[in-house]
Amino acid sequence: MPPPTPPLTITLKSHTTTVYLLLPPTTPLQALFEALFETLTSSTQHLPLPAPASIASLKLGLPRDTTPPTFQLLDESSLKGKPTLTSVGIRDGSVLAFEVVDGGGDGWDGEFTVVWAADDEEMSQSQSQGV
């Protein structure tokens, strides 16, 4: 019998919030939305963003460019069949963006806001160089 496939570690970022999920590679994409929804609604008091009203309030973004980091909307309706995490390009260590939008996205500009933590060493060098 082959060894079990290890789960994927997926990092989801929105503004200053980071959520880590461990999911099997064969997980349906809808289950990723459900896991994120459950995490956000059960931990609302600890998060600096509003809780989603429904799964439809969540938007996910796949990395598009790395410098600067930008994300493209993962539009589940455009995917055929029942996509899994690996079939849409999500790998172990992937970083995805997410947004909580009101009304299922009405009025949302399609941009994902992700704030990256600055490296303390870089910050101290840039501050000392500016003096």
Gap between the Cα atoms of 40 and 95, Å rounded = 17
- Residue 3 domain flag: no
Poorest-confidence range of 5-9, 14-18, 28-32, 115-119? Answer: 115-119
- Residue 29 domain flag: yes
Looking at the 3D structure of the chain, how many domains does it have?
Answer: 1
CATH number at residue 15: 3.10.20.90
Structural domain harbouring 52: 8-129
- Residue 24 domain flag: yes
- Residue 1 domain flag: no
- Residue 76 domain flag: yes
- Residue 2 domain flag: no
Tell me what pLDDT residue 106 has: 66
Detail the DSSP E strand segments found in the chain: 8-14, 17-23, 58-66, 69-73, 95-100
Average pLDDT over residues 43-52: 76
Tell me what pLDDT residue 44 has: 64
Contact 49, 17 (CB under 8 A): yes
- Residue 33 domain flag: yes
